[in-house]
Amino acid sequence: MLTLTYDEGTVHITGSVPDGLPGVERDQRSKSARAPAYRYQDLCRALGERGVAYDDRVFDLPDLDLTSTYELRSYQRDALDAWRDNDDRGVLELPTGSGKTVIGIEAIERLGTPTLVVVPTIDLLEQWRAELDAEFDVPVGQFGGGEQRREPITVSTYDSAYLRADEVGDEFGLVLFDEVHHLGGEGYREIARLLAAPARMGLTATFERPDGAHEVVEDLVGPLVYRIDVDELAGDHLAAYDIKRIEVELTPEEREAYERNQETFTDYLAQSNIQLRSGSDYQELVKRSGTDPRAREALLAKQRARDITMEADRKVAELEAILGRHRDDRIIVFTASTDLVYRLSERFLLPAITHETPTAERREILERFRSGEYSRVVTANVLDEGVDVPDANVAVVLSGSGSEREFTQRLGRILRPKADGGRALLYEVVSEETAEVRVAERRR
């Protein structure tokens, strides 16, 4: 009979090990074999199919008696059913504001097994802890934010899970990755590889990554088993919405500076016979700039051109008009430029949140926004993901990347259903006849 044990991210197999088991490597010296922890479920299935008897000492987990008060909406039930039908493995893609957390909590209740919830930010860690504490009558532990306490249900940041995964890899039967696209990052992948948890759920609003790393996530967590689009929920479970694009002209001075800098960049590409077809091509150019002064100047010129489009004076004037039209609405203004955030904050007396804003100050601003004391806020990227943002009904995107994920997250910030049944509105302000137009098309 075989014996399976766990140690530091590895499942060890002793006994007469048959050939062809998934992920198994043999150690001729010890006459044993081993497999990465994440292959544990595949290994058990393969042994069962071959009729091989084994003593499973990887897990000795208690059954948890869990009951929550949530009632799933129809699409949430469909999502959970799709995950369960795939042997409790896979990724669920649902829009921001559609209740992904509710599905995760229901999965924890259904399985009744010790669970590790992995999240990207401290804000999300605290939100999950509060929800789990409210729903379940079991201790909830925490890895991150100054605490390292393991309980039958534990919430961890990705960073802390990366440090603790090999130590606790046999302590949880279910691992739930919120914002699972982060797991595609080179270091974070190790979290899933070191955990033996047979049940795995990934939650995200946008699963596919431009670098293709979502394929790695599929191997570690499971395939995309359920997807529902914003438009399928808008008007019923999410607010109906409109998107209005406004193109503004550069001033003559901005246009001259933009064309001059853009020409410096494109001339270098033409002379160097470089074609930017992918992110890796751009990274190669960045590497070259370390030794080639002309490449460095070309990149700096490109950044100057981008800054001009992002911070154009007529964007500020357009924002002033939008704020005037929506005096009675709750507004979030998004930009990719921290400098512009502070400029707008001073010009229009808007509370500002950037990566430089202390945590306590950020929470105070959001709480005042939630209470209605503030009706508008301006931010640079910080509120795109992983923060519980109060309800708003108007968003203004002054600048951003070409990322579909970023755009989806920003749209999601205004899609919670409105008490009066009103529609949400997203303004996209773009500098016309610039590279920003193509960027806006990519993210849409």
Q: Where do we find the tokens 């605290």?
A: 126
Q: Which residues have a Cβ under 8 Å from the Cβ of 298 and sit 6 or more positions away?
A: 264, 265, 267, 268, 269, 285, 289
Token pair of 368, please? 């005042």
Same domain, 128 and 86: yes
d(C-alpha 125, C-alpha 315), whole Å: 36
Q: Where do we find the tokens 């154009």?
A: 312
Same domain, 49 and 91: no
Same domain, 207 and 91: yes
Q: Decide which of 194, 228, 262 is a domain's last residue.
A: 228
Q: Which helix (H) or strand (E) holds 79?
A: helix 74-85
Q: Minimal CA–CA distance to 382: which of 398, 402, 406?
A: 406
Question: Which residues on neighbouring strands pair with residue 141, listed in sequence order?
Answer: 154
Same domain, 330 and 436: yes
Same domain, 306 and 318: no
Strands of the sheet containing 224-227, edge to edge, are 147-149, 140-144, 153-157, 115-119, 174-178, 199-204, 89-93, 224-227
> Do the domain assignments include residue 63?
no
> Do the domain assignments include residue 358?
yes
Token pair of 295, please? 């490449």
d(C-alpha 237, C-alpha 193), whole Å: 36
Same domain, 223 and 137: yes
Q: Decide which of 264, 287, 310 is a domain's last residue.
A: 310
> Do the domain assignments include residue 108?
yes
d(C-alpha 326, C-alpha 324), whole Å: 6
d(C-alpha 376, C-alpha 392), whole Å: 8
> Do the domain assignments include residue 168?
yes
- Position 269 scores a pLDDT of 81
Same domain, 195 and 281: no
- Position 281 scores a pLDDT of 66
Same domain, 290 and 317: no
> Do the domain assignments include residue 66?
no
Token pair of 388, please? 């519980």
> Do the domain assignments include residue 65?
no
Same domain, 342 and 393: yes
Same domain, 88 and 211: yes
Contact 434, 250 (CB under 8 A): yes
d(C-alpha 203, C-alpha 124), whole Å: 13
Same domain, 114 and 181: yes
Q: Which CATH number is 420's domain given?
A: 3.40.50.300
Number of other residues whose CB lies within 10 A of the CB of residue 438? 10
Same domain, 282 and 343: no
> Do the domain assignments include residue 289?
yes
Listed in sequence order, the DSSP H helices in 273-358 are 279-288, 293-310, 313-325, 338-348
Its domain, for residue 388, covers 241-249+312-443
> Do the domain assignments include residue 121?
yes
- Position 17 scores a pLDDT of 80
Q: Which CATH number is 27's domain given?
A: 3.40.1170.30
- Position 18 scores a pLDDT of 80
What is the count of structural domains for the chain? 4
Q: Minimal CA–CA distance to 262: which of 220, 309, 227, 229?
A: 309
d(C-alpha 242, C-alpha 296), whole Å: 41
pLDDT tens, per residue, the chain with 444 residues: 888 999 988 989 888 888 778 778 887 666 678 889 999 999 889 888 888 888 989 999 999 999 888 889 999 999 999 999 999 999 999 988 888 999 999 999 999 999 999 999 888 999 999 999 999 999 999 999 888 999 999 999 999 999 999 999 999 999 999 999 888 877 899 999 999 999 999 999 887 766 666 788 899 999 999 999 888 988 778 888 899 999 999 999 999 999 999 999 888 888 877 776 666 667 777 777 888 888 889 889 989 999 999 999 999 999 999 999 999 898 999 998 888 999 999 999 999 999 888 888 988 998 898 888 999 999 987 766 656 676 788 999 998 776 777 788 888 888 877 666 678 899 999 999 998 888 888 766
Question: Which residues on neighbouring strands pair with residue 80, listed in sequence order?
Answer: none
